Amino acid sequence: VRSVPSVEDAEGEVQGYAQIIQRDGDALGASNGFGPPTFGGNWQDVERLNSWTLREGEGPRKAGEIVLDAASAKTAKYEVGDKVPVQTKKGLNEFTLSGIAGFGNTDSPGGASYVLFTTDEAQQQVGQPGNVSTDQSAEVRRMKPDAFDDEDAERDQKHPDPDAALRPGRPQ
């Protein structure tokens, strides 16, 4: 996608199962199949493509670091710098909490818990090494001005920011 001349930014997404283990050893979320889902994914490094907003700390920069959604961090009483056990398809591993993020202006999307890794780590823990789960159009939404024709310009005047809904809580 990045090789398309009119695309400025693109970033793949990795998503799969990851369950946060609380301090008392109990799993957070839908351990019995009922309740909100428990996801793991990659932290988007291209800021304008990232629907998550850091509230504390920073995004993961290396293997072994994670970001948690704000609701899960609060419920499980984890703070930046804590070691957090996480169950994934690779087993139970401990990660250092580098950041806490909201999904736009909410604490989590639909009550789901999220563990966000570097892309490489997400591929190892919840995906498939070297692959991304999706190539969503939202990840390819900014194009260079010369890629538009008059019809596009007319439509954009009627709808100046058609992808605003893809950035919950972001200034328009």
Q: Which of 91, 70, 80 is nearest to 21 (CA)?
A: 91
- Cα–Cα distance for residue pair 143/45, rounded to 1 Å: 18
- Cα–Cα distance for residue pair 104/109, rounded to 1 Å: 9
CA-to-CA separations, 78 to 23, 81, 82, 83, 84, in angstroms, rounded = 8, 9, 6, 8, 8
Q: At which residue do the structure tokens 């007319």 appear?
A: 154
Q: What is the pLDDT along the chain (172 residues), one digit of tens a residue?
A: 556 666 667 777 888 999 999 999 999 976 566 778 899 999 998 887 888 999 999 999 999 999 999 999 999 999 999 999 999 999 999 999 999 999 988 999 989 999 999 999 999 999 766 555 554 333 344 444 444 455 555 555 555 554 444 445 544 4
